[in-house]
Amino acid sequence: MTVTTAIRDRALAETGAPAAIDRLRATFAGALHLPGELSYDVLRRPLNPALDPYPAVVAVAANASDVRAALTAARRHDLPFAVQATGHGTHVALDGGILLNTAGLNGVRVDPQRRIARVGAGARWSQVLAATARHGLAPLSGSAPSVGVVGFILGGGVGWLSRKYGFAADSVIGAELVNAAGEPVRVTADENPDLHWAIRGGGPGFGVVTALEFRLHPLSEVYGGVAYFAAERALPTLARYREWTAAVPDELSTAIVVTHAPDSDEVPAALRGRRALAIKAMYAGDARRGRRLLEPLLHIAGPPLLDGFGPMSYATAAMGGTPPRQLELMRELDDVTIDAILGAVRDEHSPVSTVEIRHWGGAMSASRIDAGPVGARDVPFSVIADARDDALAEALRPGATGGSFLNFLADTTRTASAYSEADYRCLIGIKAIHDPDSFFRHGHTVPPA
């Protein structure tokens, strides 16, 4: 048996797959990619290299009608069904079913008078940032412009403006989706309000979102960047950080990073092959005030190895992010927590090369009567490591909340931990109404009641 034949057999293991593909050939306007084709092998893979899915077909939607066609074919022939745009949010490999690719539905429209953006299911933040910057407006985007907008928002969406304006999910005012029955549905606070609540942080299990509408904010320039310091200053800097963050305004978002930089030509010479401390910051306001607010922290950190702070446009601010291979939401940064973080990146032999401590709070923790089910609203800090380290997890456990955040959670058995108990019960009830047989069950979804 050839490799190609083995792949085809695995992908077409579901008995209804051939009939579903025949149906799609008659009803689907976009391209269909089948096992054995080079394009199939490229499109089937998500961003996570640990996943190796073999769907029966990758269906690249050309329009919203294609979404309905793919969903209907999967339901009629009892096939697994999953949606992938940029591949960032794929946590489970889909074998034998229909993988719907929505990357082509990437339209972006901006209404500068109403300060509203409408984006398609495949749009990335880079497109939205470029479109909104022309009008002096800013979306509540994440750290990486390559990330897909819809998946980011469905998972809650925490970014560098969240302390000022809240989670990205809080900004959603409307959506178009295809429900589990294959019907197009308009979702707003007045039309299908239960779904409007659920999709603002409740994950992808309530329908295939084909478009989202969300509020924008008047902001074009910020003060921020990343500065690097000697790793020996990490302990006093983190100790100061836990006190300093209690008094900073909501316009200022920060993170402290302890990292072991690789010995590579791609790394600046001042950091190459050494442990370092980094301070990331973004201030949504006057540059001079932003610098003054940061000075107490920068003074403790000492003379910088590299100072990347300065005024910049929000649309081009390259803040970067640590891959969330391990996440803990912390009640506080006590001495035990700080010691555990520094111990995890003690030398080049550690499985962890980077740990990022981020300040939450501000508008994220504000009580909102219209808020969706986004969890972690009362969390002051998060700790993210770029690799799983059981010793680090054990050391952090006493100070951790035990909860998680959906955008940063890869383990789909822990989906419930991203919500309060009350919100999770509500999500289960809404799931029972709109998807009682759990057609949308691939990835971070809740079970129906």
121, part of any domain = yes
pTM of the model: 0.93
For residue 31, give its domain range. Answer: 3-101
Domain shared by 50 and 165, yes or no: no
Supply the pLDDT for residue 1.
39
Domain shared by 190 and 321, yes or no: no
* Mean pLDDT for the stretch of residues 273-290: 96
Supply the pLDDT for residue 284.
97
Non-local (6+) Cβ contacts of 380 within 8 A are: 245, 330, 331, 332, 359, 360, 361
Distances 268 to 40, 261, 262, 309, 366 between C-alpha atoms, Å: 38, 9, 10, 16, 40
Q: How many other CB atoms sit within 10 Å of the CB of residue 47? A: 13
Non-local (6+) Cβ contacts of 192 within 8 A are: 185, 186
Supply the pLDDT for residue 241.
98
* Mean pLDDT for the stretch of residues 369-380: 90
Domain shared by 260 and 404, yes or no: yes
Structure-token pair, residue 441: 């069950």
Domain shared by 139 and 31, yes or no: no
Tell me the per-residue pLDDT of 346-363, one tens digit each, with 9 for 90 and over.
Answer: 877 889 999 999 999 999
409, part of any domain = yes
Domain shared by 268 and 323, yes or no: yes
Supply the pLDDT for residue 8.
58
Domain shared by 92 and 181, yes or no: no
Non-local (6+) Cβ contacts of 442 within 8 A are: 80, 81, 82, 92, 94
Supply the pLDDT for residue 348.
75
Domain shared by 94 and 127, yes or no: no
Domain shared by 84 and 117, yes or no: no
Domain shared by 142 and 274, yes or no: no
* Mean pLDDT for the stretch of residues 372-383: 94
Structure-token pair, residue 285: 């306001």
Residue where one domain finishes, among candidates 57, 83, 101: 101
Q: How far is it, in rounded angstroms, from Cα 283 to Cα 98?
A: 44
406, part of any domain = yes
* Mean pLDDT for the stretch of residues 67-88: 94
Residue where one domain finishes, among candidates 101, 117, 145: 101
Number of domains comprising the chain:
3
Q: What is the CATH number of the domain that holds 361?
A: 3.40.462.20
Confidence check: pLDDT of 259 > 90: yes
Distances 181 to 59, 73, 206, 433 between C-alpha atoms, Å: 19, 11, 11, 12
- Residue 409 contacts residue 415 (beta carbons within 8 Å): yes
Q: What is the DSSP letter of 8?
A: H
358, part of any domain = yes
Domain shared by 325 and 234, yes or no: yes
Tell me the per-residue pLDDT of 303-349, one tens digit each, with 9 for 90 and over.
Answer: 999 999 999 999 999 888 888 889 999 999 999 999 999 999 987 78
- For the four alpha carbons of 63, 65, 69 and 72, in that order, the dihedral sign comes to positive
Q: How far is it, in rounded angstroms, from Cα 346 to Cα 352?
A: 9
Residue where one domain finishes, among candidates 179, 194, 218: 218
- Residue 325 contacts residue 388 (beta carbons within 8 Å): yes
* Mean pLDDT for the stretch of residues 415-431: 96
Q: How far is it, in rounded angstroms, from Cα 135 to Cα 304?
A: 35
431, part of any domain = no
Distances 364 to 29, 224, 293, 380, 381 between C-alpha atoms, Å: 41, 20, 20, 10, 12
Domain shared by 271 and 406, yes or no: yes
Tell me the per-residue pLDDT of 26-66, one tens digit each, with 9 for 90 and over.
Answer: 999 999 999 999 999 999 998 888 889 999 999 999 999 99
